[in-house]
Structure 1
Amino acid sequence: MHNTRKNIVELLVLLLVWMLLVYGLNVAMAVKRTPELQWKMFINYGFFGLLNFIPFYIYLRWIIPPFLQKNNWVKLLSLLLPLMLGTIVLKYLIADHFFREEVLFSGYRYEHREKVFLYVSATNYFISSLWGGAVIVLAAFSYRFFILWLEEDKRRAILQQQQLQAESGFLKMQLNSHFLINSLNSIYSLALMDSPEVVRAHKTLTDLLAYMVEQPSDIGYRAPIAEEIRYLQDFVTLQRIRTGCQEGIVFRLPEQVPDKEIAPLLLVPFVENAFKHGVTNRPEKPVRITLECTQQQMVFTVHNYISGYQRDKTGGIGLDNVRKRLQLLYPGRHELEILDMKEEYCSNLVINW
């Protein structure tokens, strides 16, 4: 039912465009608008233009598509030629019986002082109409190739979107697994010390994981910036529980958060990187997290002092994946600056909404 309705709509649209080009354009370009000329144009371009649409649509719907699939020239010609020749014969018979003056009349001359009217012969009409028939075939092929090009372009766009979707989901999965490993290590450390904060840390981690699981895999999805901020706050809480030093982390947020959206789980790798490789238990060298957000852009800065301990081997994928995700999600709309100094490390991300 859907295909039938679609085909009917396509037929009506093509017929409308065809008549506008064949009849409407010629009428609009006519210099003289006498009733006789208008009638003649109506017959030649209106009525016979409508007759020419019939083989055009038959070529387009039932002859050209099978040929493009199997590339059978013999079958194509065996269908095209009879239809083209039959259409020319039909048009000549209609013109000869009903519209000789409007279609076939070519002038007159005097013979022995008698006015002799001249009409286009069947042979001449047939030869001249072959060119018109060839143009109709060419128009059908051109339109069919145009439709195929549009469909192929649409398929390429869908495949590209699916590829970006898969790549973005893969990168996010890597980041999530990286985060999970670090968080479990933190809780494991608390458990080894018999810390009473294990239960609270477990609850916070559960909330964090629930938020991560709820995020759709759609590359175009954006989460409210307020939800991302709460996620970061829970993440910071988990790290403070682990270190037992509240002053080791300074988290500055705007007083009012604009109603904006951001790709989910995009900011946490910067914070995670600072906690993993920086000093987090010394108030005089705190990890500083600053988020500034306006209606035009968001600026996210994370600064930390580099720890003297050996870095964890699993810590290398976070920021590399963030760079790739930013290229996928915010091409040409972000700036990422990372300063790796001898004793300090600073990441500064700017996203233009």
Structure 2
Amino acid sequence: MNAVKSRSYITVLLHILVWMLFSFVLLFYMPLTWSIEVPYQLWIKQGCELVFLITIFYVNSGILVPKLLLRNNSLGYLLAIVGFVIVGTVMVRYLDNILNLAVLITEAFHKIGITKLPRHNDKLDIFLIMMILLIIGISTSVTLIQKWQANKQLQEALEKDRIGSELSFLKAQINPHFFFNTLNNIYALTHVDVEKSRNALHKLSRMMRYLLYDTQAGSTPLSKEVSFIVDYIELMKLRLNDTTKVIFEGPLINNDIQIAPMLFLPYIENAFKHGVSSTSSSVISIELSMEENTLEMKVQNSIFNENAEIADNYGGIGLTNTKRRLDLLYPGKHTFSAGKTEDTNEFIVHLTLMLDDTELYSGRR
């Protein structure tokens, strides 16, 4: 609200300064170039012209441009401009006649010895016409720029709402699938080890609390997201046997930056889905690293299902949706690659986020 008021004050101040400049040109500059005693009637005429120009500016800005030009009524707009020129010309001739300016200025020049004056076109005041066209040009340009800025702000607001809705939908797709898998794991564990199942339920409740209360703002501290990933990995390891080795390397967090919540989980969940075998040895490697303004994630897992080579089902939401989420959250500030290596039977996901200063410093205390 304060920012809006500040912009309004600045706009009003700019208008005042511009009209002060035009006032100086019309009321002072031209008469000062004459070496005569300027009759006061000339000031009256120039003042009327200034009021006329101000009227043109705001009538054009508030009525003609939005009602005619922006509605593709170019002919009506041109006729209105011609009408301004005609009214201005008639007004000047009328003022010259009732104020008797031609005689007064001639007498003023005669007093200083100038008897031969340049011929003046009584029909057209070229200076006034040029001023009218200049004012209309400035008024039209300012109005069109303001309209463009308003449309841009509206589009940005609509795009922001659309992105928020789409991200909410994507997030809603991620969370139920994750809980469905985790609850199945805990259910299976209750038949084997009750104490471990209790610990697993505690971890799950902590993760649910994180999702319900810590991710609603659309961003979350990196430390909490890492803790969430650790809890998820620990829950998934409960159902694994000795043939699967899970390696996790977290980043050294000096400054707790803000990132989008649940950003890495689909790729980690995919690694557990396709990288686990009950008979063959496998390795799941998850690495998060942070260097200056770059956050990097690398997930690597063995492949036992040839269909996983396509890898179009990340965490139950689809590779297309996960890429779309990255495009919405970090447009132009991320790199992403996913695919099977040629020399080894492994699938590697590599994601790099380039964070700006707002994200880097928003998490600092």
Q: Which whole-Å CA distance do the structure 2 matches of 1:115 and 1:346 have between them?
A: 95
1:346 to 345, 348, 362: 348
2:238 matched residue in structure 1: 241
Task: Give the secondary structure class of the aligned counterpart of 1:124.
Answer: coil
8 Å contact kept, 2:267–2:315: no
Q: Which whole-Å CA distance do the structure 1 matches of 2:115 and 2:353 have between them?
A: 86
What amino acid is the match of 2:324? K
Q: Which whole-Å CA distance do the structure 2 matches of 1:150 and 1:38 have between them?
A: 48
8 Å contact kept, 1:254–1:292: yes
Q: Which whole-Å CA distance do the structure 2 matches of 1:86 and 1:34 have between them?
A: 28
| 1:212 corresponds to 2:211 | yes
Q: Which whole-Å CA distance do the structure 2 matches of 1:141 and 1:106 have between them?
A: 41
Q: Normalising to structure 2: TM-score of the pair?
A: 0.70
Task: Give the secondary structure class of the aligned counterpart of 1:242.
Answer: coil
8 Å contact kept, 1:299–1:349: yes
8 Å contact kept, 1:169–1:217: no
2:249 to 252, 276, 280: 252
2:61 matched residue in structure 1: 60
Pairwise CA RMSD of aligned residues?
A: 5.0
1:266 Cα deviation after fit: 0.8
| 1:287 corresponds to 2:273 | no
| 1:166 corresponds to 2:165 | yes
What does the per-residue CA deviation read over 1:226-270, in whole Å, with 9 as the maximum and x for residues that have no partner?
111111111112112333769832222245544323221111122
Q: Which whole-Å CA distance do the structure 1 matches of 2:103 and 2:152 have between them?
A: 45
Task: Give the secondary structure class of the aligned counterpart of 1:171.
Answer: helix
Q: Structure 2 unaligned segments of length 5 or more: list them.
A: 356-365
8 Å contact kept, 2:56–2:84: yes
Count of matched residue positions in the alignment of Structure 1 and Structure 2: 342
8 Å contact kept, 2:69–2:77: no
Q: Which whole-Å CA distance do the structure 2 matches of 1:190 and 1:184 have between them?
A: 10
Task: Give the secondary structure class of the aligned counterpart of 2:123.
Answer: helix
Q: Which whole-Å CA distance do the structure 1 matches of 2:6 and 2:349 have between them?
A: 56
Q: Which whole-Å CA distance do the structure 2 matches of 1:103 and 1:194 have between them?
A: 111
What does the per-residue CA deviation read over 1:24-53, in whole Å, with 9 as the maximum and x for residues that have no partner?
69999x9xx86749989x959974445421
Task: Give the secondary structure class of the aligned counterpart of 1:243.
Answer: coil
Q: 1:44 to 1:299 in 2, by over 3 A?
A: farther
8 Å contact kept, 2:27–2:43: no
What is the percentage of aligned positions where both structures have the same residue?
A: 24
2:331 matched residue in structure 1: 331
Task: Give the secondary structure class of the aligned counterpart of 2:239.
Answer: helix
2:14 matched residue in structure 1: 13
Q: 1:22 to 1:142 in 2, by over 3 A?
A: farther
8 Å contact kept, 1:84–1:133: yes
What amino acid is the match of 1:54? T
What amino acid is the match of 1:317? I
8 Å contact kept, 1:260–1:295: no
What amino acid is the match of 1:306? I
1:168 Cα deviation after fit: 2.7
Task: Give the secondary structure class of the aligned counterpart of 2:270.
Answer: helix
What does the per-residue CA deviation read over 1:180-229, in whole Å, with 9 as the maximum and x for residues that have no partner?
222222223224556442222222122212222335566xx432211111
Task: Give the secondary structure class of the aligned counterpart of 1:286.
Answer: strand
| 1:301 corresponds to 2:298 | yes
Q: 1:105 to 1:132 in 2, by over 3 A?
A: farther
Q: Which whole-Å CA distance do the structure 1 matches of 2:100 and 2:44 have between them?
A: 9
8 Å contact kept, 2:220–2:258: yes
Q: 1:20 to 1:310 in 2, by over 3 A?
A: same
1:149 matched residue in structure 2: 148
1:228 matched residue in structure 2: 225
What does the per-residue CA deviation read over 1:258-311, in whole Å, with 9 as the maximum and x for residues that have no partner?
432322111112211111121277896332222222223222222222346998
Task: Give the secondary structure class of the aligned counterpart of 1:302.
Answer: strand
Q: Which whole-Å CA distance do the structure 1 matches of 2:353 and 2:69 have between them?
A: 48
Q: Structure 1 unaligned segments of length 5 or more: list them.
A: none
Q: Which whole-Å CA distance do the structure 2 matches of 1:6 and 1:189 have between them?
A: 62
What amino acid is the match of 2:330? Y
The farther-off stretch of 73-82 and 165-174 is 73-82
What does the per-residue CA deviation read over 1:308-344, in whole Å, with 9 as the maximum and x for residues that have no partner?
6998988553544332222222233322232424632
1:14 Cα deviation after fit: 2.7
